[in-house]
Chain A
Amino acid sequence: MITLEERLAAIVALLPAQEQTRLNAPLAGDESIDSRLVESVRSLAKAEGLVCMTPGEFTREAAKYAVQRLVPAAKSPADAPADENSTASLAARLAKYTDPRAQTAFWRGLTEVQRATLLKAK
């Protein structure tokens, strides 16, 4: 049966030189052969071009993604045409729909703020 040390050695041998140095170093106080093996597999996956993140890396990526998603909503007044969100403009756009399908699609595309603007104008 292959020991964990043998498995580790086999995987480390496949890694780039700088990774081999790091993963061949003596175990730190908070490391075990298990955690070193997991780390080496993760490094191998990265070296092969796969996305393989630690929990910390995943959290940072998720936060970055969330910020990217929020950006369009935050920038509306400056980047949108001047009167795109004005009551008159929204009401005019809503009124021009004579097809129920288009009306539903338009309503679904409105933000909560735009809907509130329209309703307040009534």
Chain B
Amino acid sequence: MPNTLTNVNDIKVAQNALQPWMAALTPLRAFSSNFSPEPADKLDTVRVPFVGAPSQSSDFAGNYTLNADSTVTVIPVQLNRHKFKTVHLTAREAASTAFNVLDTLVSAAVKQLAQDVLQDIFSAITEENYGDPVIAALAPAAFDYKKLLAIREACSTVKMPVTDRSLILDGAYYTNLLGDEIVSKSFIQPLAQPGIVDAQIRRLAGFDMHETVILPDNGEKLVGFAAHPSGMAVAMRYLVPVANYDEAGAVTDPETGLTFGYLRYTEIQSNRIFVTVECLYGFKPALPDAIKRIVKP
């Protein structure tokens, strides 16, 4: 059974919503992932390739196959999370405005759905899963480049691989970093533009930087974390609807595989059009030393 949309208007609405979906889920790059529009059911298990440090090299002793890594490490992740968001408008609203209301509604719904998914995944960044904070608790005003270097040092101490490190940071801490003497003056043209005009720091001290305003404190005053993909495995698939809908299909980004489901249906009694966007996903904490928490006092 094909899992694509067929109505051009729905395709347009869904494709327009794909951009905010991908933008909001950018911090997921910090984790190991297996995202795809392939159909799956709730509680199915997806094998997420695990990006960790390779084992040691061997001295050549006549055969290249000696001591080969036997398999690609994978983490089984159960698709046990299913979030959705529904928007609606009356047929009269749809007909009486030139402005494409559905487009706006669905884009906003998808963005909210992405934030809720992300927040849910961040809820696993806890002391129980990842241990003590990487540095002593600190207020936003105290977070500067030197503190970032201290985090980097702590990551290296636990042998977190130097490549693919990310730093997800609460907006207030990220903002203070933007005003840091070293950071603000280190921008050079044309890199100055993202930092000064768009408040973007792409990479700093070897970390891919991600600002977030939706990080849950998890009851532990969490304000950010340094991460390597081996710290968490995340999976995402398309949940095929059982019922018949006017339109139903997976909407996906071919490069990342980030996917949401799109359903449109009509309630004849109230003459309303509904669109539901949904996400089937799961996540599982992996190596404790691959995520280092930052907390506030």
Contact = CB atoms under 8 A, between A and B. Distances in A.
B160 interface: no
B2 interface: yes
B12 A104 contact: no
Nearest to A122: B8
A101 B254 contact: yes
B11 A107 contact: yes
Interface string B1-24: 011111111011001001000000
A100 B259 contact: yes
Nearest to B6: A95
Range, interface on chain A: 10 to 19
B9 A94 contact: no
Given A100-B249, A101-B37, A118 B8 contact: yes
A105 B255 CA distance: 10
Interface in B220-267: 238, 249-254, 259
Interface residues of B, number: 21
A119 B15 CA distance: 13
A99 interface: yes
A3 interface: no
A100 B9 contact: no
Contact of A97 (B4, B12, B238): B4
Contacts of B9: 119, 122
B37 A100 contact: yes
A103 B18 CA distance: 12
Interface string A50-90: 00000000000000000000000000000000000000000
Contacts of A94: 8, 11
Interface in B106-156: none
Contacts of A98: 2-4
Given A105-B254, A122-B9, A100 B15 contact: no
A107 B11 CA distance: 8
Q: Which 6 A-B pairs have the closest CB atoms?
A: A98-B2, A101-B254, A100-B37, A100-B250, A100-B252, A103-B4
8 contacts: A100-B3, A100-B249, A100-B251, A104-B251, A104-B252, A105-B254, A107-B15, A119-B8
Given A101-B37, A105-B254, A115-B12, 14 more contacts: A98-B3, A99-B37, A100-B37, A100-B249, A100-B252, A102-B254, A103-B4, A103-B5, A104-B252, A104-B253, A108-B15, A118-B8, A119-B12, A121-B8
